[in-house]
Amino acid sequence: MSHSSLGFSKTFLSRKGLEMDWKIATVVGIVVAFIIALISVTIFSNDVRIFTLLNGLSAFVALSIPVYAKYKDYSRLKKIEGEFPRFIEDFTNNISVGMPLPAALAETAKNNYGVMTEMVHEMNSKIEWGIPFAKILEDFGKKTESPMIQRTVKGIMQAHDSGGKLAEVMKSMSSAIRELDTVKRERSASVFSQTITGYFIFFAFVGIMAVLTSFLIPFLTTGATGGVEAQSTYQNIFLTLVLVQGVFAGLGIGKMAEGSVTAGLKHSFTLAIIGYTALAIA
């Protein structure tokens, strides 16, 4: 098997592997979470603090494992989008010096583009097999699952089909992509202070909930009928509030900083777990 054919196979399997990894991670997370919840109910149902912590751990495991697998896929997409402008520039330079498309792509495929390298090898394999260039670009855009790359590929295909100067079109698109990336980075830097503010507001909220749980609620229910049950009820309510606040605050931070709700998942779990743990042991 040739190197290019091997590259095609590895790319196909890696994409399928990502989808399978997410499905397996989801099943594993649910199974482990169910086991933890079962232990919590059967052994620690009379110990409110341990029971609450185990329930929180169960929910965390059920969500964090599949979300982590999904976030790895998201990170991979961002790496591909980061390497794509360099690939376009190299490909454009090879076309500009007079290379035909197959030779230009073969020369470009010799470079390293990180996680996108195998995709470039796959493109090179397809063009060697005689598949039309427009079809190769279309398949590449679909495989990346990136709206930005798909829009760029569509523009290149239109320029190629209309007989325009492909090198000039690709060069212009590469510059536009880099400018867009620069704007995104500047936006992330500009909202950094807002991100810190979001974290500060959440921790202040957790502090208020901790004070209510540890001091105010016990003081108000001391000596009252059903005081212990009331404390437990309020604690569970506050824990739920902290989880909800952490999840949505994290999603909001991700949307502001990186323009993607998916990017906020890491903030959501960081805030939710820190807040839940802090309040559970308060």
- Say if residues 209 and 279 touch (Cβ distance below 8 Å): yes
Domain limits, the chain: 85-185, 191-282
Q: Which class for 108: exposed (0-12), middle (13-18), buried (19 or more C-beta within 10 A)?
A: buried
- Say if residues 276 and 202 touch (Cβ distance below 8 Å): no
Please indicate whether residue 131 or residue 14 has the higher confidence score (pLDDT).
Answer: 131
* Confidence at residue 142, expressed as pLDDT on a 0 to 100 scale: 85
Residue 249 has pLDDT above 60, yes or no: yes
**What are 204-215's pLDDT values in tens digits?**
988 888 888 888
- Say if residues 109 and 8 touch (Cβ distance below 8 Å): no
pTM, two decimal places: 0.57
Contacts of 224 (CB under 8 A, 6+ apart): 230
CA distances from 73 to 18, 114, 140 (A): 7, 15, 17
The Cα–Cα gap between 116 and 87 comes to: 9
Question: Residue 228: enclosing H or E segment and its boundaries?
Answer: helix 227-258
* Confidence at residue 8, expressed as pLDDT on a 0 to 100 scale: 38
The Cα–Cα gap between 234 and 245 comes to: 16
**What are 37-47's pLDDT values in tens digits?**
888 788 877 77
Amino acid residing at 41: V
* Confidence at residue 4, expressed as pLDDT on a 0 to 100 scale: 42
